[in-house]
Structure 1
Amino acid sequence: MLAVSYAWSGAPMPSANTFATLLALGILPSICGFYCTIRAVQHIEAYKTQVIESSELFFSALFAAVFFGEWLTGTGMLAALAIIVGALITSMPERRVISRQVRPIAERE
């Protein structure tokens, strides 16, 4: 999908030797990610799975900073903070609320 915008931007096309590597980088993570998502949904709720998957962006940015010295902008830092806070909120145990059954006044004895 990104190949169209890449070609349109006028960037040089990769050599024929790198196509197998690029194909593997595109297909293998997609297959593994899809498999892990399906397995996760079998064990936890779908919304929790999505929150975990959204943390991928945070870890990608973290690894880019550690290994390549590429830091996020202010907006990127806020987005990373939102991802972390969302993951923390989602991972908190659910509180069980004991509800009292309320009947209309006309039905009370």
Structure 2
Amino acid sequence: MLTIKQGLKLSVILDKLDLKIDFKKISQNGEVSVEEFGGELMMQIATKLHKAEKEIIAFVAEYKQISYKEAENINLIEFVQVLLDDSSFGSFFKSAVNSKLQD
């Protein structure tokens, strides 16, 4: 379950990452596939994670209910998989993406 506090932390992280998807750049035939969109989104996230380092670690600590110091040493790939398996995280992320698409 994603709590309000965790959702607010995710909001700050997404704001700091300042993700911008250029649909014209990644489109083929004027349309963007889910794979193209996902690939571009993941590339931007991977290259901008450093902008929200403290916030991400604080989110991991809150989500896993561990200390900030312990959160610094969590396996990133395993944690991402846990998030992807959490339906409330998926719902939050879809809402965030949809709001960005409407901007």
Which structure's CA Rg is the greater one?
1
Give the structure with the higher percent helix.
2
TM more than 0.5: no
TM class by shorter chain equals under 0.3
The TM-score with structure 1 as length reference comes to 0.26
The TM-score with structure 2 as length reference comes to 0.27
